[in-house]
Amino acid sequence: MNPDASRLWRAPRWALSVLLACLAMVGPFSIDTYLPAFSGIAAALDATPLQMQQTLSAYLLGFAFMNLFHGALSDCFGRRPVVLIGLAVFTAASMGCALAGSIGQLVFWRTVQGMSAGAGIVVSRAIIRDMFPPADAQRVMSQVTLFFGVAPAIAPMVGGFLFVHADWHSIFWFLTLVGAALLLSNWRLLPETLHAGLTQPFHPVALMREYWRLCSSAKFMLLVLASGIPFNGMFLYVLATPVFLGEHLHFAPTQFFWFFICSIGGIMGGAAMSGRLAGRMSSKRQIMRGFRIMSAVSAANILLNLFAPLSAWWALPLIGLFSFGWAMMVPVVTLLVLDQVPERRGMASSLQACIGSAANGLVAGVLVPLVMHSTVALAFTSAGLMLVGLAAWYGVRRSVEA
């Protein structure tokens, strides 16, 4: 923690939480906002479904690749410059997407957009630990988790509204305005939170050596898997929304909001519970409680999909409860990840985000197309992703302090 933290931010703590939460939303929000316009963009640009899928894959690959470096660069040059440059590039790339006249141009600008969007979520995590002691950091991380989890749920709603009432270009113009607003607000408000004494020299060889040290640490990698992989148990339903809601549950587009109410409600409830438990319950107990909730929900989801008639009355609340369990435990695990290397929290956040983004990309590009046409397959896949995280946690929990 920066010893000068109390002098760097004199406004209420919640105001900094909101600023950081908005930064964290940029990446996931811009992934999903344009999904409802896939068919419209394909028709306008004469693109095939495979080419449209490339616009998503290119974004996720760019997002994952640059996530390796955002945090490490912030350890060397400061948190503030990396955030501001990332937002400036994101704004320009969003404008490029809006002006794209061919599918090739859209793929290119989506790649640039993905490469810049991760700066917010990666650096915001490091800023939280710069500014707050553990219990307060968990409360703030819970608030950021709420926004991070809500973003992929509400993004298709915003994108769908803009597409229906304007056109697909308006979605990217909206993201341009979001980027510009965040750039201005962070330029005016965000302080430099990295203490001068903790600044790391920028030496590429030494940087790669540090990455290897983290990647070869079983404890670090297991914590990263425990924090990132279970999110996809909920995220795959978000990605499969058109098929899951439209084909399986026979929802009209105007009814899709029920899915997002359940998932958002679960995330909000879990994040709020995590904040309330900060300093009152040990890290291990809170993490296990979250995994127990997700395990019970996953089992119920599989059994009901196998033996009960499919119904939104139980399918959507189960997704909400799964989201609750995830949001309750992930702020704690994330802080454990960052505290593995206090002198390199930016790098730790980078590597964590990169691995999580790579998992998101595999889910979006490989798993969802394979399983989205079967609710049973969706249920088993969701449970399997959760079990990967649970196995990782069991592998590391004995070495974690209570």
Predicted pLDDT of residue 255: 80
Residue with tokens 């899951």: 244
Kindly report the CA angle at 247 between 244 and 251, in degrees rounded to 5? 80
CA atoms within 13 A on the CB side of 61: 12
What averages of pLDDT result for each successive group of 10 residues across the chain (402 residues)?
A: 75 83 85 82 87 83 84 88 96 96 94 91 86 83 74 78 90 95 94 84 80 88 92 88 87 78 87 86 91 97 96 95 93 88 83 83 84 94 96 89 62
Quote the CA–CA distance of 363 and 385 in Å, as a whole number: 10
201 sits in the region (left: phi over 0; alpha: psi -120 to 50; else beta) called beta
Q: From the DSSP assignment, how many helices (H) and strands (E) are in the chain?
A: 18, 0
Global pTM? 0.78
**Per the structure block, which two tokens stand in for 168?**
């697909």
Residue with tokens 């990295």: 194
Predicted pLDDT of residue 303: 97
Kindly report the CA angle at 399 between 396 and 402, in degrees rounded to 5? 105
**Per the structure block, which two tokens stand in for 350?**
């980078």
Short-list 307, 77, 313, 340, CA closest to 221: 340
Predicted pLDDT of residue 134: 78
